[in-house]
Amino acid sequence: MSNSNEARAVGAPYTGFTQNRWLQLVFGIICMGLVANLQYAWTLFVSPIDAKTHWGLPAIQLSFSIFVLVETWLVPVEGWLVDKLGPRPVIAIGAIFAGVGWVLNSYADTLALLYTAAVVSGIGAGCVYGTCVGNALKWFPDRRGLAAGLTAAGFGAGAALTVIPIANMIQSSGYEHAFLFFGIIQGVVIFMLALFMVRPQPPKNFTLRSNIVVTKVDYTTVQMLKTPVFWLIYLMFVAVAAGGLMATAQIGPIAKDYGLAKLPVSVLGITLPLLTMTLSIDNLCNGFTRPLCGFISDRFGRENTMCFVFIGEGLAMLGLMNFGHNPYAFMTFAALVFLFWGEIFSIFPATCADTFGTKYAAGNAGTLYTAKGTASLLVPLASVLSVGGNWDRVFLLAASITIAAGIAAKVLLAPMRRRTIEGSAKAATQFKGAKPVDDIS
């Protein structure tokens, strides 16, 4: 297979208002920002719910765990529907489920109803997330990393715009009214945007850099699961996600054990408790890195970028371990951990589409996305390792697996993926239904 910088013909050119791929990308980013409140604003509701119902924080937080598992593990099914039906009906269904889930939360007077709302909300979030990421991969075969990164960034950055209004409404009108009002508003806006979403039509002519290796075959999800390279990608995703989650999910307890959480610090003339300042900076880094590293991977190659950022993440964790008792070092290295970690939600989907094609990209990327759920199951290990406030064991384990993943990207993944792609013509005869397409899928 040639990897020269020549233009490649794929499908039909996009024309018309709704078929402009950049506009479609913007629609997807807005939808992601709206549905992200189901995850990022949840923490605002927990204490008010407990104050009224007295169910207890563990029982209430179980609702959030249910939401995350449903949102993550159903994405392959929702992605398959996108590949079959197109984005419009799946996002529309997601809008309805997301809105209804929030409305149910507003009326939840039993834990059973609260958990039901979590399931409904999770289905809605998964429909929107899987569709928007899959659409980005299909519309931008020439800029997959950037497009997936911008879309994934919308999931966190967009929620930042609505967190303050939601908090204010909870304070002034109660959490029930906030659930009801924002649930209806978000559901209606996402549904309206869904009406403008169309099946992706990649550009007819575009240029790829020589270090971006892409497939000649569109693999279905079942066919993809039969390839060793997919399981290597999946294992790396789990390793890096778990390593990052072990560290990032424990920033609060770490700061508390280091005696820094409430220490006032000043940055750019703003003075806040160290933990509040750290989390604010970390969230910015987590969102910023997704399109940034996606863009870098489009220019310098997926595995090259993985190697750099994964090793960088591991070194940042070691820096946090060794120098984190200094407040400004703590903020710096924590920010670097988030900066080197958040890009997994852009680089891995782009790598998946490069390796297994565009036609089934939504279902394939959704299947790979379950690695996030798998990784989350390993996070409690950090609590076991940190007994007695000994966070060094957590940092050493997390740093080790992320650095190992960075080395594996160059030593194992790069040659294996190239061999798989170069043998795609042969694979087309081995896997029933896999059909060669143009030089890129």
CB of 218 closer than 8 Å to CB of 441: yes
Mean pLDDT of 43-47: 81
How far, CA to CA in Å, does 189 sit from each of 36, 81, 186, 193, 436? 13, 21, 5, 6, 39
* CATH architecture, range 221-430: Up-down Bundle (1.20)
Mean pLDDT of 400-411: 95
DSSP 8-state class, residue 266: E
pLDDT at residue 304, as a whole number: 94
Please indicate whether the domains covering 21-194 and 221-430 agree at the CATH topology level: yes
Mean pLDDT of 17-35: 88
Evaluate if pTM is beyond 0.85.
no
- Of 416, 13, 435, 431, nearest to 216 by C-alpha is 435
pLDDT at residue 427, as a whole number: 52
Residues 6+ apart with CB under 8 A from 230: 224, 352, 355, 356, 368
- Alpha-carbon distance 135 to 115, whole Å? 30
**Per-residue pLDDT band at 425 (split at 50, 70, 90):** low
Residue 318 neighbours by CB distance under 10 Å: 18
- Alpha-carbon distance 158 to 151, whole Å? 10
Mean pLDDT of 356-366: 90
CB of 426 closer than 8 Å to CB of 1: no
Of 42-56, 83-97, 251-265, which range is least confident? Answer: 251-265
* CATH architecture, range 21-194: Up-down Bundle (1.20)
* H/E segment holding residue 265: strand 264-267
Higher pLDDT, 261 or 418: 418
Q: Is 112 helix (H, G, I), strand (E, B) or coil?
A: helix
Q: Is 212 helix (H, G, I), strand (E, B) or coil?
A: coil
CB of 134 closer than 8 Å to CB of 361: yes
Q: What percent of the chain has pLDDT over 90?
A: 44
Q: Residues 278-298: pLDDT tens digits?
A: 877 877 888 889 999 999 999
- Alpha-carbon distance 185 to 431, whole Å? 46
Boundaries of every domain in the chain: 21-194, 221-430
- Burial environment of residue 423 by CB neighbours within 10 A (0 to 12, 13 to 18, 19 or more): middle
Mean pLDDT of 238-244: 87
- Burial environment of residue 205 by CB neighbours within 10 A (0 to 12, 13 to 18, 19 or more): exposed
Q: Is 215 helix (H, G, I), strand (E, B) or coil?
A: coil
pLDDT at residue 431, as a whole number: 52
- Alpha-carbon distance 306 to 70, whole Å? 28
CB of 209 closer than 8 Å to CB of 299: yes
Which residues is 264 bridged to in the sheet?
A: 273
Residue 18 neighbours by CB distance under 10 Å: 13
